[in-house]
Amino acid sequence: MKVKAPGWLLLITNLPGQNQTLRMRVWRALKAAGAGLLRDGVYVLPYSSASRKIFDEQAFEIRAGAGIAHILALASDSTEQHNTLAALFDRTAEYQELNARLDTCKRDLAKLTELDARRRLAQISRDVAATMAMDFFPGQSLGQVQSTLGDVEAVLNARFSPNEP
């Protein structure tokens, strides 16, 4: 019998109901890592050593708070199952929101001071980087936001540093 390589990691949790601080801390950490939520207390990430480390850290926190945590490796048994799990990581909406912010920033450049313009673009750039860090299945939306970011940077530099290469 041939065993498929694991494609996914699952974190199955059971947190004590009275410890809302732990519940929020774990939820925020998993959300920041880009984990997909299968159902209450069941999270998924594509299989990797980085994903394993994230789940190990959260499992340690959960167990230290008197909760239960299990980490399981899972191989998709069909293309349909793989696609269903991968859909949990669709970042299109986040990239659309970032594109909208970039478009607004570009329109506002004429009204902003250089410092304000660079601060605003730096914040959006950090948000783009954070979204990219948890985009396990990058697609067309990533390319669009990167292109828009480059356009806004070019407009900003043309306005505030017109004679620099």
- Cβ–Cβ contacts within 10 Å for residue 111, how many? 8
Instruction: Quote the CA–CA distance of 124 and 112 in Å, as a whole number.
Output: 15
Contact predicate 133/50, CB 8 Å: no
pLDDT at 76: 87
pLDDT tens series, the chain, 165 aa: 455 667 999 999 999 878 889 999 999 999 999 999 999 999 999 999 999 999 999 999 999 999 999 999 999 888 999 899 999 999 999 999 999 999 999 999 999 999 999 999 999 999 999 999 999 999 899 999 999 999 999 999 999 888 776
Contact predicate 35/45, CB 8 Å: yes
pLDDT at 2: 53
pLDDT at 4: 62
State both tokens at 59: 């499992």
| Ranges assigned E (strand) in the chain | 8-14, 36-39, 42-46, 68-74
The full set of domains in the chain, from first to last, is: 8-87 (3.30.70.930), 92-160 (no CATH)
Instruction: Quote the CA–CA distance of 151 and 147 in Å, as a whole number.
Output: 6
Q: Write the CB contacts of 23 (distance below 8 Å, at least 6 apart in sequence).
A: 15
State both tokens at 107: 């329109």
Instruction: Quote the CA–CA distance of 145 and 99 in Å, as a whole number.
Output: 6
Percentage helix, strand, coil for the chain under 3-state DSSP, each rounded to 5: 60, 15, 25
Enter the pTM of the model.
Answer: 0.83
For 11, list phi and psi in degrees, rounded to 5: -115, 115
pLDDT at 14: 94
